[in-house]
Amino acid sequence: MTESTSPQAEWPLYEVFVRGKRGLNHVHVGSLHAADDEMAVRHARDVYTRRNEGVSIWVVRAEAITASSPDEKDPFFAPSGDKVYRHPTFYAIPDDVPHM
Amino acid sequence: MTLTESELQQGFEATIAHHDRIEPRDWMPEGYRKTLVRQVAQHAHSEIIGMQPEGAWITRAPSLRRKAILLAKVQDEAGHGLYLYSACETLGVSRTELTEMLIEGRQKYSSIFNYPTLSYADVGTIGWLVDGAAICNQVPLCRTSFGPYGRAMIRICKEESFHQRQGYELLMTMMRGTDEQRAMVQESVDRFWWPALMMFGPPDDESPNSAQSMAWGIKRNTNDELRQRFVDMSMPQAEALGVTFPDPDLRWNEERGHYDFGTPDWDEFMQVVKGDGPCNRQRIAHRKRAHEDGAWVREAASAYARATEERERDRAKVERAPAPSLRGADGRVETR
């Protein structure tokens, strides 16, 4: 039995993602506690979409998320740091060449 | 490679100096974390306790329109409390601990909610002055250095504007009514003006933690700066409404370009903060009762979740069915 199943323990923590409107990604908006997935969606509606902020909600147990290490200057992201040639501005094109 | 404490401290300070945000899993000094836990929790508790003074008028609202508005407003306060509890939990405190600390009086909430709502006009005055003061406090907090707190404040500020406008509109309606209604509005404003000024906290020279909070970018303005801003904003609103504030020293100072105003009764403030305001015991007793009365609901929901999970696990074993898939016929994940 995990701790979350004892009646005294807190309901598990869920992270909430809301799609603001069609055509946009779901975006993280916050978290909440709920006894199960279905209740998490209902609570997310009440807490995070009281004024038409969303057309779709995702909830996921916080414990199910795997993240990179916390430091934003982490060497994990170094491989993209020294590859300036991945950006269009790396290439010099004469000004009189159109549509580039 | 493990960083030393002084390197971590330097990284933290560099982030603050760049006006970048600190995020939950970043290293932070223990004092920064503690200050934030105290401030964000106190803010969350204020939203939750703040449901009571106005909630008391829901059943007695004079029309269905006013009742629907008040219900929506009180529901917003609950929502604001939840945004802030959610932000506070990212600092490593649990929701259960936070609730217990409120109920046991180990954490505080804004002293304004320890004043009673004696007349229906108080619903309007709270919207106008109390939420108005809260907006003054909260707008600069949208840029606070701790990411989750700032994001919660942005959501809250968007919704507070409705709170203030509904209150002011309510008072305008009453001011267009009978002499008795106008007197009700003035009496209500007289009771709430000084407590509203106290919402910004003690004067700067008696607010020992302010300097550190400003250095850490948690606070962006001092208590006195915000109080002055609030007075300057409120005066033309009072004139438009046709009410006065109970302060003989309140007048425009041409030289300063601000209104001068009197000193709130700081002894009364300290008394209310320490637990001896008109409604302190009642507010906490009500919160405690609501929490205890709700225990069976929380337990029933947990039991239901557990039973559903077990039933589904058993069924899966029997049927050996593949897990339900979100993939459509084209193999792409359905995300709607």
Report chain B's mean pLDDT, rounded to a whole number: 93
Tell me the pLDDT tens digit for each residue of B226-261. Answer: 999 999 999 999 999 999 999 999 999 999 999 999
Token pair, residue A41, equals: 């969606």
Tell me whether residues B302 and A5 touch, CB distance under 8 A: yes
pLDDT at B263 over 60: yes
Is B305 an interface residue toward A (CB < 8 Å)? yes
Closest residue by Cα to residue B130 from B69, B41, B49? B49
Question: Taking the CA of residue B246 as centre, how many other CA atoms within 13 Å lie in the half-sphere pointing to its CB?
Answer: 15
Closest residue by Cα to residue B201 from B287, B272, B280, B257? B272
DSSP strands (E only) in chain B: 251-253, 258-260
- The per-residue pLDDT for B317 is 80
Tell me the pLDDT tens digit for each residue of A58-69. Answer: 999 999 999 887
pLDDT at B336 over 60: no
Q: How many CB pairs under 8 A join A and B?
A: 61
CB B141 within 8 A of CB B217: no
Tell me whether residues B304 and A71 touch, CB distance under 8 A: no
pLDDT below 50 — which residues of chain A? 1-7
β-partners of residue A33 are A13
Q: In what order do the strands lie in the sheet with A13-19?
A: A26-33, A13-19, A56-61
Tell me whether residues B305 and A13 touch, CB distance under 8 A: no
Query: What Cα–Cα distance (Å) separates residue B148 from each residue in A7, A92, B177?
Result: 29, 42, 45
Share of chain B above pLDDT 70, in %: 95
Which residue of chain A has the CA closest to B25?
A70
CB A49 within 8 A of CB A72: no
pLDDT at B330 over 80: no
φ, ψ of residue A95 in degrees (nearest 5): -60, -30
- The per-residue pLDDT for A6 is 47
- The per-residue pLDDT for A4 is 43
Helix, coil or strand: residue B157: helix
Closest residue by Cα to residue B309 from A39, A65, A56? A39
Across B67-96, b (16+ Cβ under 10 Å) vs e yields: eebbeebbebbebbbbbbbbbbbbbebebe
Is B244 an interface residue toward A (CB < 8 Å)? no
Is A51 an interface residue toward B (CB < 8 Å)? yes
Q: pTM of the entire structure?
A: 0.89
Is A1 an interface residue toward B (CB < 8 Å)? no
Helix (H) / strand (E) containing B232: helix B223-241
Chain A interface test: which of B80, B93, B298 (most A C-beta within 10 Å): B298
- The per-residue pLDDT for A5 is 42
Question: Taking the CA of residue B8 as centre, how many other CA atoms within 13 Å lie in the half-sphere pointing to its CB?
Answer: 13
pLDDT at B181 over 50: yes
Query: What Cα–Cα distance (Å) separates residue B215 from each residue in B20, B30, B249?
Result: 14, 15, 33
CB B167 within 8 A of CB B105: no
Is A63 an interface residue toward B (CB < 8 Å)? no
The closest CB to that of B336, out of A11, A47, A56, belongs to A56
